[in-house]
Amino acid sequence: MNLDDLRDIFEPYERLVKIELCGVTREVPENNTILRGLQYLDLEAISYGEFCWNGECLNCQVWLKNGDKEKAVMACRTDVKEGMEIVRMADGIELFGSPQTA
């Protein structure tokens, strides 16, 4: 699958923003949720994952760095922001063929 062919699944964006994902800097589309950003990074894994996409299942929970603490949020309901740091992801989120631990 080519992301350019599937651009309509993402909210309109003009640029990519940098986020830190479990210690690795990645670029994802602005104006989109974290879950859509993860889908942008690994289209197949997120598209076929067990996510409800509406905040009811908790399968897309991620933890953001919030000062010296972590804040749990739903990736399907939280927009990406330039420089955000995702420090942990729910067990069900598998990117690039390997599970991420919570």
The string of pLDDT tens digits covering residues 51-63 is 999 999 999 999 9
Return the CATH number of 3-91, one of 3.10.20.30, 1.10.260.40, 1.10.3720.10, 3.40.50.2020: 3.10.20.30
For residue 43, which of 91, 80, 88, 6 has the smallest C-alpha distance? 6
Look at residue 102 and tell me whether its pLDDT is greater than 60.
no
Q: What's the whole-number mean pLDDT along residues 66-95?
A: 95
Domain boundaries, the chain: 3-91
Give me the phi and psi of 90, to 5 degrees please.
Answer: -60, 150
pTM above 0.95, yes or no: no
Residue 31: the pLDDT is 97
- Residue 96: pLDDT band with limits 50, 70, 90: confident
- Residue 34: pLDDT band with limits 50, 70, 90: very high
